[in-house]
Amino acid sequence: MPNIAVIGAGVVGAAIAYELSLMSGLTIDLFDAQEPAQGATGAALGILMAVISQKTKGRGWRLREQSLQRYRTLLPELETATGKTIPGDRQGLVKILLEADWSRWQQLQAVRRSQGYPLELWTRPEVEQKLSGWPLGYGPIAGAIYSPWDWQIQPQALTQRLIEAAQQRGVRCHFHQAAHPLPVADSINHCQNIQTNQAKFPTDYVVITAGLGSNLLINPNSDNNESLQLQPVIGQAFLLQLADADNPLKNSPWRSVLTTEDIHLVPLANGQFWLGATVEFPSDCANGEPNVQLRENLWHQAIAYYPFLERAEIINYWSGKRPRPVGESAPVIRPLDGYDNVLLATGHYRNGVLLAPGTAQEVKTWLKAKLA
């Protein structure tokens, strides 16, 4: 029975472990140096921007469409298996559009129609009517586009349900066990064991899905020391509270995520919202710390688009580090140079939650080919 090691228990690793558990005849071990759903997953907003993405062909669209289709069956599957709901917003996403962008979104609407995915274009008066009289304060706003296929899922809850369902199917979880850099038998370029700070585990195939921790798992040598480079890109977000009287969305039938210009507003229960997120490259961040000025800029830009937020109370804010590949496209899904049994499935940058199911399908395809 082949032993499969999945290193990294964020949303991508959890999805991979669960999907592999649906294959028969495998022993699967899931490792993480801490509790699951930490790192980039723990800070993510969980917005699935697939149909509304401008990617319409190639790998970028294929992964998105695979994930879209799988989420339709995966969420009820997990809720049935665990008896627990997965919070989120399955009513779709509303993206506010500027006048200069209108024709570009008309073109996307036509492409998606041909692919079988509806998009609705709303004029400015239609937006105000559908959102219960919410006034559009920013002058250049032309309207909005509504995507019923693009959802929001709370990442930590999703990850926990994936792990619970995987464990039910026999996946062995090893949390608070940091994996050491992968050893290599030079003659065969083959990883035969996963060594943690507690034990050694024999393995036949390894999937590295540890986000920024992936770099630490690669033992530098002449073959692979340049084969994977990930840089941290910080994102900051807010938790907001609005009183009922100040919340124009309270009585709106559209309980959808609102987004524009990388400013995402996620309605939660009881008048609360998530607002995010900044995009902070290493050059923006002194000593690797979140940039306070960029957080303030996000807040003021959000108020320009959503004036009612000026009356919101900031309950909390947080930050996370996204793994962005250097020198190749995100995500990185390919064999690790110098090994014949190690697959990279990491570096999802800002799309880990969105692409987790599609990535898991790609890993299954790779493993089936190896086992054939």
- Chunked into runs of 10 residues, the chain (372 residues) has average pLDDT values of 98 99 98 95 96 97 98 98 96 92 96 98 89 72 95 98 99 97 75 95 98 88 67 97 88 82 91 96 90 97 91 96 96 94 98 99 98 95
Question: How do strand 200-202 and strand 93-98 relate by DSSP bridges?
Answer: unpaired
Give the Å distances, CA to CA, from 252 to 120, 247, 256. 17, 10, 10
Q: How much is the pLDDT for 338?
A: 85
Q: How much is the pLDDT for 147?
A: 97
Close Cβ partners of 86 (under 8 Å, ≥ 6 residues apart) = 75, 78, 79, 153, 154, 157, 158, 161
Query: Which strands make up the sheet holding 332-335, listed edge to edge?
Result: 172-175, 27-32, 3-7, 205-208, 342-346, 332-335
- Give 190's DSSP letter: B
Burial of 288 (0-12, 13-18, 19+ CB in 10 A): exposed
Q: How much is the pLDDT for 139?
A: 74
What is the value of pTM for the model shown?
0.96
> Residue 227, SS3?
coil
Q: How much is the pLDDT for 366?
A: 98
> Fold for domain 3-85+154-229+326-371?
FAD/NAD(P)-binding domain (3.50.50)
CA dist 115 and 372 (Å) reads 33
CATH number of this structure's domain 90-150+231-323, picked from the four choices 3.30.9.10, 1.10.606.20, 3.90.25.10, 1.20.120.350: 3.30.9.10
Q: CATH 3.50.50.60 in the chain, residues? A: 3-85+154-229+326-371
CA dist 351 and 64 (Å) reads 9
Token look-up 């469409």 returns 65
CA dist 215 and 193 (Å) reads 18
Beta strand ranges found along 55-115 (DSSP E): 88-89, 93-98
Q: How much is the pLDDT for 201?
A: 97
